Amino acid sequence: MSSRLSLRDFSVGIALLLMGGFFAFKEPEFLSARNLSQLMTELSIVATLAMGMLLIILGGHIDLSAGSGVGLLGGLASVLVMQHDYSAPAAMGIAFVAGVVLWKAMGALIVMERIPAFIVTLGGLLIFKGMFWRTIDNSTIPVAPGGTSNLYSLLTTYYVPPKWGLMMATVLVLILVVITLRTRSQRLADGFEVESREIAFLKVFVAGQGMFLFVLITNQFRGVPLPALILGMVTLIVHVLTRHTAFGRHLYAIGGNEEAALISGIPVKRVVFAAFGIMGGIVAITGFMQTAYVGSSTTTVGELMELDAVAACVVGGVSLRGGRGSVMGVLLGSLLMVTLLKGMGLMNVSPEHKFMARGAVLILAAWMDVRLNRR
């Protein structure tokens, strides 16, 4: 339960550096502000979905329908805006609620009727895909009328002005300092050991440096992209859920040993049901970002994204049997998968080779996981 970086996170970090170094060496364009900013946006979209996937997998389930859901809910919002004259916020609100309802329905089948999540969400993958194509009538529907912008289209075209970005980073670092100090003093008051002053300072310092570095880099190209803020919010929420609420602890326990969780008095069904509800909301948010990033809803939006999200989790050390995994790991895993994809894109690797490389990295990560755990 500690926030310490594991050996695994460390090895993913090294793999990331090696990979980034390789791409930067082969294609200097990789380190350009523009490319890094795009990378951030793409990371934000994949990682947001992976955060939801983390909640599902922690409880010992899986969601294969997420990619179809991304297409469907983004498409629904587009259709409402373009064909029914809804305002962008209303359209997204409706699609968001639809996502929560659909995922709760799948959750109900899984917990009440005990149909395996693999099957329910595989069915969902096909059903949502069909619903998606029907919704957009197999055509291309933009997120905003030509030449205009709305909240929907701004999702991936808005950048936080550089000055505001720096101010935000400052405020966040201050909050981090306050929280660290408060936690420390309470633990000390309760007679627990805490890490040394130097280590605590170093941690806050590195985190702060990272945040400022991030803002400074993105400021080179227009500023912090809005999706990064959205990812930040989602990550924070999922982090608090998993680490600081009874819900999250119960989820770990269910994934670790469902029978023991039940005997321990955990409302197993309610917890898993809630996780699916949250996933529905996250799929909707991802759908809006991905559709806005593409610029319009077309039949291919969201395709295979469920696998990207699962891969990000596995690379990030989340156990598919449930009960093990962290927000930090998923962030790193997502970054690795997105870096791989982006770097290969810059090097003009053909799509068929991209698929193979992604598959190989996924299997490699899972193999490493097995080896590291065996020890």
Site for other proteins (CB under 8 A): which residue of 11, 140, 157, 257?
Answer: 257
DSSP codes of every residue in 49-65: HHHHHHHHHHTT---S-
Nearest-5° Cα angle at 334, 329 to 338: 150
CA distances from 45 to 11, 94, 116, 193 (A): 24, 20, 27, 39
Rounded to a whole number of angstroms, the minimum distance from the CB of residue 112 to other proteins is: 14
Cβ nearer to other proteins, comparing 198 with 259: 259
Minimum distance, C-beta of residue 179 to other proteins, in the bound complex (Å): 12
Q: Are 329 and 12 in contact (CB under 8 A)?
A: yes
Window contacting other proteins (CB under 8 A); options: 144-152, 257-265, 280-288, 334-342: 257-265
Say how far apart CA 133 and CA 123 lie, in whole Å.
16
Instruction: Rank residues 209 and 264 by Cβ distance to other proteins and give the closer one.
Output: 264
Q: Which two tokens stand for residue 177?
A: 């300092």
Nearest to 282 by CA among 91, 103, 39, 87: 103
Of 96, 103, 159, 252, the one binding other proteins (CB under 8 A) is 252
- Residues in region 28-57 near other proteins by CB under 8 A: none
Name every residue whose Cβ is closer than 8 Å to that of residue 281 and which is 6 or more positions away in sequence. 52, 96, 99, 100, 103
What the block records as the tokens of 21 is: 């170094």
> Between 141 and 180, how does the x/- string for binding to other proteins read (CB under 8 A)?
----------------------------------------
Q: b/e string for 223-247 if b means 16 or more Cβ within 10 A? A: bbbbbbebbbebbeebbebbeeeeb
Asked if 244 touches other proteins (CB under 8 A), the answer is yes
Footprint of other proteins on 315-334 (CB under 8 A): 323-324
Identified binder of other proteins from the candidate list 85, 197, 198, 263, rule CB under 8 A = 263
Q: Which of residues 185-214 bind other proteins (CB under 8 A)?
A: 186-187, 189-192
Q: Name the one range near other proteins by CB under 8 A: 132-140, 146-154, 156-164, 253-261.
A: 253-261
Stretch of residues binding other proteins (CB under 8 A), selected from 47-55, 112-120, 156-164, 254-262 = 254-262
Find out whether 327 and 58 touch, Cβ atoms under 8 Å: no
Question: Contact positions toward other proteins, by CB under 8 A?
Answer: 1-2, 183, 186-187, 189-192, 240, 244-246, 249-250, 252-253, 256-257, 259-267, 323-324
